[in-house]
Amino acid sequence: MKIGIVVPFSWSYWGGVVEHAEHQAAALRRRGHDVKILMGNDPPGLLTRLLHPRSGRHEELPEGIIPVGRSVVVPANGSLPNIVLSPSCIPRIRRALAEEQFDVLHLHEPMTPAICVMALSTARCPVVATWHAHGQLEWLRFGRYFWGFLMERIDVRIAVSPMAAESASRWHPGDYRVIPNGVLIPEQADPTDRDNTVVFVGRHDHRKGLPVLLRAWPEIHRRTGARLRLIGTDPLQYRLLNARLRVDEAGIDVLGIVTNDVRTRELSRAKVAVAPSLGGESFGLVVVEAFGCATPVVASDIPGYAAVVTPEAAVLVPPGDADALAAAVVDVLADEERRVEMGRAGREHALASYAWDDIARRLEGVYEEACA
């Protein structure tokens, strides 16, 4: 099949949906499909620096991505996504759909303007859509009055978790089938002989809980001597946050935005991954990535994380509780035998439920159903 994946965000700035689309496309190509991604792109230059307060990836676009416009930062659902609202995306999307003649379109967060709304109104082929977000999603209240009628053009609705399905159906009732996020799982991962490091992967968004981790870190570092590796957090934003919190920075390394290979390597070398999010997570993507690397996890006890963890591979703590987070990380690091067993259990769980090749197979069946 010729498949078009439509993402309303910018390739230039890392985020869960952007990464999901890239891995989805790669997995579908391995199954013999012709796949293109329509999404935003912010090339380097003064305008990009003015529009975006954090650094991103501004190198040449990979093959298979069709850029359709610049993005801006829009606060939504406790996060700061980079959404494409450029008027120029309208003719670009229309032209891309006319030239490519896709057999099926797969939209992510389909009610997000302007890319998805435009693609949905222009599409002349079957449409599949995936909802990722969890929360009140109040912004959908307004969108449904202006372009909510376009929901009728969606042939199959997918949610990445029961929480995402519940959040979407609050504003757009209907039948949502749950197909979880897939994750990249390295061919080999050994939980033994790890560096004495703790890894946090996430943007500097309030809901990701980085301030909670920073408040917990001095105690963790004092008792274990471990180093904290911050991935995905913009260095400048980290400096501003820590200037406000004034916590001891000993043992903290800010890696910023890194490639998938670097992130996988860091997770595969760490003893523990931490996910102190405060809420609003529909799916524990980083948690499952850590499992795939045979790395145990200490995470907040929120629905999006509780739905993907097993007690053999993770420890859940109350969200926002820095003392509980510190105690849990210290406990895992103090018992090497338990830590290794947790890592092995996590990898088995990830391989059984979240490998991308299996997710691609399930999506392929959905596309065939939609086209039929």
What does 65-82 look like in DSSP terms, one character per residue? EEE---EEE--BTTB--E
Mean pLDDT by 10 residues, the chain (372 residues): 97 89 96 98 87 81 95 78 90 97 97 93 96 78 82 96 91 93 92 97 87 96 97 88 90 91 95 94 91 98 94 97 98 98 97 94 97 93
The domains found in the chain, sorted by start residue, are 2-182+355-371 (3.40.50.2000), 197-353 (3.40.50.2000)
CA atoms within 13 A on the CB side of 40: 31
Secondary structure class of 69 (helix, strand, coil): coil
β-sheet bridge partners, residue 297: 273, 314
**d(Cα 86, Cα 113) in Å, to the nearest integer?**
10
Helix 336-353 vs helix 285-292: crossing angle, to nearest 10: 110
**Two structure tokens written together for 68:** 């359709």
pLDDT digits (tens, 9 = 90+) for 70-109: 999 887 766 778 899 989 999 999 999 999 999 999 999 9
Residue whose entry in the numeric block shows the structure tokens 């931490």: 274
Burial of 165 (0-12, 13-18, 19+ CB in 10 A): buried
Q: How many helices (H) and strands (E) does the chain have?
A: 14, 15
pLDDT digits (tens, 9 = 90+) for 14-66: 888 998 999 999 999 999 999 999 999 999 888 888 888 777 888 889 999 99
Let me know: does 315 contact 298? Beta carbons within 8 Å.
yes
102 to 1, 33, 123, 206: CA distances (angstroms): 8, 11, 9, 38
